[in-house]
Structure 1
Amino acid sequence: MHIDHTVFLTRNHADTWRRYEQLGFTLSPPSRHFAAVSDQSEPVPSCTANRCAYFGGSFLELIGIVDEEAGDPWRVLPILDARGNGLHGCSFGVGDSGEAERRLREAGLSCSGVLQLHRDVELPEGTRTARFRSVHIRRDRTPEGILHGWSTSSGRATSTPSCPANPRGSCRTSPPTASRWQISRKRGS
């Protein structure tokens, strides 16, 4: 398990995304989330969408509330209600979400089961659907926000967009390769 990326939650998604672009980042295109409420359910449209600001081998996931009336299967609205906009999450990369869930449940840290998430990703060759599996650490153990482990449905995910440095020294993606996700199954992981 490794820290894969951090999560910034905001109700002011347009302003937040614009500010990161003003700082010199080219963000991945907006991508609406479809998330499962439980390990026994299929993903449904969520109130959230994301854009990512890349930093070399990692990224900051900028999650915005894009439809307050849509479902909130992963309960991000209570975090925003209690704490406001800000850095409220950390995602750990795991090779096997099922195994991570079992170990966290045995330690008394999770009762979420393995949850599904998918979202469309714009790639140079067209739109693809990225599918993820996630296990959440209990919210009563993480009052500051979200901690979860994740993997792709077909194996471990590595997000490796083309990420040249810009004149301000921040990492950014160039428009033709924005949000290039390589989803691969690593042998032995």
Structure 2
Amino acid sequence: MGIAERRLIHGSQVPDRIDQVLRPSRCREQPEPGQNPEDQGAARQAWHGRAVPAYTGEPEEIEIGVMAPSYRGGSDLSDDAMNFPDRQTPTGDEVFFDHVAWMTADMDRASAAFERLGFVLTPYSEHGNRDPETGERQVQGSANRLAMLERGYIELLCAVPGTDTPVSRNIADNLARYEGVHLVACTVSDADADYARLQRQGTPLYPMVHLRRDVEAADGSDAEVAFSVVRPEFGAFPEGRMQVLTHHTPDHMWQDRYIARENGLTGLAQVLFCVEDPAASAARLSALTRTPWRTDGEDAVIDLTRGRMRFTTEAGLDRLIPGAVAPSLPFVAALGFRSRDVAASRAFFADRGVTMMGRSDGADGGFAIGAQDGLGCYLMISD
């Protein structure tokens, strides 16, 4: 099913259930460790059929890939408020929701769509990485433009015309399913350490890459942005292309001239996956992000050090965003953004002729931009 064929709702009011995506309620109580193992057994599965070890320790010793139990007095995983420290890059063991990538076959059309939404795009840039032995730059077969936020960023990603590489073929394969968000990335302080950890876990990985892109520095001089990226093999995570990376040149990445101001959006806060089995998906990405997961009603949730991942079913997607239909599963259905002033953001998008879905009570507690204007993904705006 293509984007134009989706059953979208335009101009109708979305009830308060939007807030369940933006600010979920406290998770329901889970069995204590060691109790009712059959209730959690089906959910405790790592990818490729390997069992995820059961929880055995105290709260501070939660093992990765398992449900985070509720404890009397609560924990940071069961708080209503989303974690969102006011820093661009993580330190120590922190894991931040960093960016997502829309895959498109038409960079010009995608760029126009995002400029209409008030994003300032960086110049078109082709990817390459350094050969660890020779230092020679190798073509990856992809190119991008970025829309920077005060916290995190979004990426428009396309295959470089005329290239035939694993990356360009993967982009084509994903576009055959739907145009929209297919890549979700978290940032850590030491990607090499996470690469070693994931190798020990048995996660299928491509070799570590050290990506480089030529940019113009804020002072007009030539510069290069640099990342170290952990790349699970294509297909290792059905939920999408998942990455873990470390930023080595944040000052060149987040140049003030490229940070969106007009639309009032300040940060990338949440991603909503529509999947067949929310618990299984959460367990897989819990192992990737070394962050325990929990349930929230019928959904599963991972609360990162900054930001959140939410997993729901097709029925859950319709419950959270009435009328939304997944073109195929799995599907990155929606992204949550923070706004410094929800009313001002709403007015900006209205002036641009963007279709919005708001709360039924008219309050400025949040609103959504439909998937047609969001290039295949719903955009959820909150304060």
- 1:164 deviation in Å? 5.5
> Which structure has the larger Rg?
2
Q: Is the 8 A contact 2:147 2:260 kept in 1?
A: no
1:128 to 223, 226, 243: 223
Give the direction of change, closer, same or farther, for the CA distance of 1:70–1:164 in structure 2 (3 Å limit).
closer
Cα deviations by residue, 1:43-78 (Å, 9 ceiling, x for unpaired): 4223321111123211111112231x2243435335
Q: Which has the higher helix share?
A: 2
2:158 corresponds to: 64
- Distance between the aligned counterparts of 1:24 and 1:97, measured in 2? 32
Q: Is the 8 A contact 1:116 1:132 kept in 2?
A: yes
Give the direction of change, closer, same or farther, for the CA distance of 1:113–1:164 in structure 2 (3 Å limit).
closer
Aligned residue runs from structure 1 range 63-82, under 5 A? 63-67=157-161, 69-74=162-167, 76-82=170-176
- 1:151 deviation in Å? 1.6
1:16 corresponds to: 110
- Distance between the aligned counterparts of 1:78 and 1:101, measured in 2? 27
Amino acid at match of 1:80: N
The TM-score with structure 1 as length reference comes to 0.74
Cα deviations by residue, 1:107-126 (Å, 9 ceiling, x for unpaired): 12232231121111122322
Amino acid at match of 2:111: W
Which SS does the other structure have where 1:52 is aligned?
strand
Which SS does the other structure have where 2:235 is aligned?
helix
- Distance between the aligned counterparts of 1:23 and 1:121, measured in 2? 24
- Distance between the aligned counterparts of 1:72 and 1:131, measured in 2? 21
- 1:27 deviation in Å? 0.7
- Distance between the aligned counterparts of 1:51 and 1:134, measured in 2? 18
1:106 corresponds to: 200
- Distance between the aligned counterparts of 1:89 and 1:35, measured in 2? 18
Q: Is the 8 A contact 1:13 1:65 kept in 2?
A: no
Give the direction of change, closer, same or farther, for the CA distance of 1:80–1:10 in structure 2 (3 Å limit).
same
Q: Is the 8 A contact 1:35 1:43 kept in 2?
A: yes
Which SS does the other structure have where 1:53 is aligned?
strand
1:147 corresponds to: 242
Cα deviations by residue, 1:19-49 (Å, 9 ceiling, x for unpaired): 111222221111111146x977854223321
- Distance between the aligned counterparts of 1:11 and 1:169, measured in 2? 28
Cα deviations by residue, 1:87-135 (Å, 9 ceiling, x for unpaired): 0011111222211111011112232231121111122322212222111
Identity %: 25
- Distance between the aligned counterparts of 1:148 and 1:49, measured in 2? 17
Q: Is the 8 A contact 2:104 2:175 kept in 1?
A: no
* 1:119 aligned onto 2:224: no
1:169 corresponds to: 264
Which SS does the other structure have where 1:105 is aligned?
helix
Equivalent residue pairs, number: 166
The TM-score with structure 2 as length reference comes to 0.39
Aligned-residue CA RMSD (Å): 2.6
1:3 corresponds to: 97
Which SS does the other structure have where 2:198 is aligned?
helix
- Distance between the aligned counterparts of 1:2 and 1:56, measured in 2? 14
Which range moves more in the overlay, 157-166 or 134-143? Answer: 157-166
Unaligned runs of 5+ in 2: 1-94, 267-383
- Distance between the aligned counterparts of 2:132 and 2:192, measured in 1? 11
Q: Is the 8 A contact 1:9 1:85 kept in 2?
A: yes
